[in-house]
Amino acid sequence: MLASSDSERSYSAAKAVSARLISLSAYQMVASTSTHEEITEMTNPVVVTHSGWTPVSAGTRYCSVMMSAAPTAATASTAGQRTVAVYAAMGSEADPAAFAAAAAARGWRVAYPCMLSAIDAAACGQRMCMRAVAADDASAAPFIAHPTRAFAATDIDSNHFPIVPAEALDMIVVPLVAFDQTGARLGYGGGCYDRYLPMLSPACQIIGIAFDEQRVDHVPTDAHDLPLPHIVSA
């Protein structure tokens, strides 16, 4: 669990950056450009920024970049089917919904975070798990409708929304509040992804998506804070 001072620091920083994001609907993104091919060619960490993207077009553009960067082979545990994890965007967050739809259309398995109850979290040492969601079932998934709510295992129909082991993921799209050029990420203070990312297969592609307004000069980090190997900003 994060120390009290760490949580307070993260919350204060997240609050300050979130206040800036409220005006994003009218924001025209401007930044240096890079091609999406660089995601797989450049050394880590990589922050790729695109110019000319607006909040309206960014979702489709993120989709194009991530489909291009997706691993060419699935992990052995998924028997040839690629598995990608996304998230249900809240408020003005960068939204991976277009990528999720495109991945599902290609027959890939798509998973979403499900926050765990205190009892389940204590039992497994994680605050969230990933559950597979078929495109037709997305509206029925309570953890998509309420992404910050904690659910007990008995609250979820595991036949419809089975837990996907972390090591089975081929790609994971990570939300963030702020980031810097080194790949350091500021989350929402819960440490969910900091706990979850070390569980992934070394072959899993990890990509954060954001608006360039979320870029800061320096994100303060602690020992448990993991930088993202790839961040695509608009």
What residues contact 56, with CB distance under 8 A and at least 6 apart?
none
Q: What is the mean pLDDT of residues 58-68?
A: 65
CA pseudo-torsion sign 91, 93, 94, 95:
negative
> What's the domain range around 212?
4-233
Q: What is the mean pLDDT of residues 10-17?
A: 41
Q: How many CA atoms lie within 13 A of 25 on its CB side?
A: 3
Tens of pLDDT, residue by residue over 83-93, are 999 999 998 88
Q: What is the mean pLDDT of residues 199-204?
A: 93
What's the pLDDT at 47?
Answer: 57
What's the pLDDT at 31?
Answer: 28
**Residue closest to 177 by CA, chosen among 50, 32, 20, 6:** 20
Residue 175 has pLDDT above 90, yes or no: yes
What's the pLDDT at 88?
Answer: 95
3-state DSSP percent of the chain in helix, strand and coil, to 5: 40, 20, 45
Tokens (6 digits) for 13? 């920083």
170, 70 Cβ separation under 8 angstroms: yes
What's the pLDDT at 63?
Answer: 73
Tokens (6 digits) for 212? 């360039």
80 — pLDDT class (breaks 50, 70, 90): low
Give the phi and the psi of residue 204 in degrees, each rounded to 5. Answer: -70, 135
What's the pLDDT at 154?
Answer: 93
How many structural domains is the chain composed of? 1
- The amino acid that residue 57 corresponds to is S
Could you give the CA distance from residue 143 to residue 196 in angstroms, rounded to a whole number?
Answer: 17
Tell which wins on pLDDT, 35 or 180.
180
What's the pLDDT at 233?
Answer: 81
Tens of pLDDT, residue by residue over 116-129, are 999 999 999 999 99
What's the pLDDT at 226?
Answer: 80
Residue 227 has pLDDT above 70, yes or no: yes
**What is the domain-level CATH number for residue 211?**
3.40.50.10420
Q: What is the mean pLDDT of residues 207-229?
A: 87
pTM of the complete model: 0.74
What's the pLDDT at 26?
Answer: 23
What's the pLDDT at 225?
Answer: 78
What's the pLDDT at 191?
Answer: 85
Largest Cα–Cα distance of the chain, in whole Å? Answer: 48
